[in-house]
Amino acid sequence: MTITALYVDTTHNMDDSVVGRFARVLGLSPIRTENIAQVYEQIKRADDPCAAGKQALVLTANHGPFLRKCPGTREYTCCDYHILNIGTYCTMDCAYCILQSYFHPPLLHFFVNHEDLFAELDQLIDSGQQLRIGTGEFTDSLIWESYSDLTHRLVTHFGRQERSVLELKTKTTAIAGLEGLPHKRKTIVAWSVNTPEVIADQERGTATLKARLRAAAQCQAWGYPLAFHFDPIILYPGCERAYAQVVDAIFGHVSAENIAWISMGTLRFMPLLHSVIQKRFPSSAIIYGEFIPGLDNKMRYFKPLRIKIYKHLMARIRRHAPDLTTYLCMEDDAVWDQSFGFSPSLHGGLPVMLDTSAGRHCGLR
Ligand code: SF4
């Protein structure tokens, strides 16, 4: 989706060169305003606020915390991840994207107070804990590569320490800026993957599976560890075979030894998203599966269906890489047990499993 308006929040003192770069690449004159609330009102009044919010970008400061723990729920096994909030929303357009109903209104923001970001990051890293920190939770990690040097700075910054790891999560192929950086394997480049059918039907504006895997192979050649996320897994006739082929394609492109982890999570959504998908993606059938409300109030596939596909995918992964760290996103011990034959507590808990793998792949101390 094309960005047609660039707003600059003048309540924050902003570096003109940062604004200039966004304006130049977008070919837009920045609209300077101290009343961003007016922009929010405009987006809310649009016929399709979710689409309108992808056509306007606000450059502003983040006045809240940059870092927060992933808000897992008590009922499901959480991976103990830290989210680094670099901006919100996304230029791509996936039918199932939770961000459509998460922000009010959904609107592209990129935070420019990077000195505050790095100060907060250092404070956390200096606390001495081993951390996994990711930027791909409230946005895609690599959508601003042509506009900002933030990824370059983050990767270089993580390369200077040995306790924590940065995970960049994307559906793009915007990896050119990662070449030649002194990453010291402290950045994991991760792709969300899906079947070619799901990508074509439900993920507008994203890279094809082949392109994502080629980009992953390139990052591997540049020395980066990798990760893959099967999320959301969508059930449809023939999906088991199709997802197995995605597993095969991953191992056909990159080395099992270079994959820090693979995660899996089936489609889940807050009931509010149902009507958004119905309205914005009328030909999408993803909301018409066998869903039940979970303990976190999100709708999910009926448990036996989730277990069946997890089991199937895990068996396929094990064929290629018996020891690869594979985990389930937001599932309970019973689902783990029935899908994988063990629950994370056998290995000290999911955070320990992932920290151990990060330590091994990224050389953490
Ligand atoms: S790529 Fe991710 S953040 Fe972007 S629209 Fe798709 S699901 Fe949402």
pLDDT tens string 152-186: 999 999 999 999 999 999 999 999 999 999 999 99
The helix-helix angle for 239-253 and 303-320 (nearest 10°) equals: 30
How far is ligand 1, taken at its centre, from the CA of residue 199, in Å? 11
Pairing of strands 31-33, 5-9: parallel
Minimum-distance ligand 1 atom for the alpha carbon of 138: 3
Q: Residue 308: inside a domain, yes or no? A: yes
- Is the pLDDT at 13 greater than 90, yes or no? no
Residues paired with 88 in a beta bridge:
109
Which CATH number covers residue 333? 3.80.30.30
Domain count, the chain: 1
DSSP conformational letter for 268: E
Give percent above pLDDT 70 in the chain.
99
Is the whole-model pTM more than 0.75? Answer: yes
Where in the sequence is the domain holding 203, given as residue range(s)? 65-85+114-362
Q: Identify which of 168, 239, 177, 173 has the alpha carbon closest to the alpha carbon of residue 202.
A: 239
Per-residue pLDDT band at 74 (split at 50, 70, 90): low
Q: Which atom of ligand 1 is nearest to the CA of 140?
A: 3
Separation of alpha carbons 224 and 361, rounded Å: 9
Residue 11 lies in a domain: no
Query: Is residue 97 a part of any domain in this protein?
Result: no
In angstroms, what is the span from residue 15 Cα to ligand 1's centroid?
A: 28
Q: How many residues does the chain have?
A: 365
Residue 262, in any domain of the structure: yes
Shortest-distance Cα residue to atom 2 of ligand 1: 140
Assigned domain for 102 exists: no
Residue 121, in any domain of the structure: yes
Nearest to 99 by CA among 137, 61, 133, 43: 137
Domain assignment of residue 13, yes or no? no
Alpha-carbon distances, residue 256 vs 173, 189, 247 (angstroms): 20, 14, 11
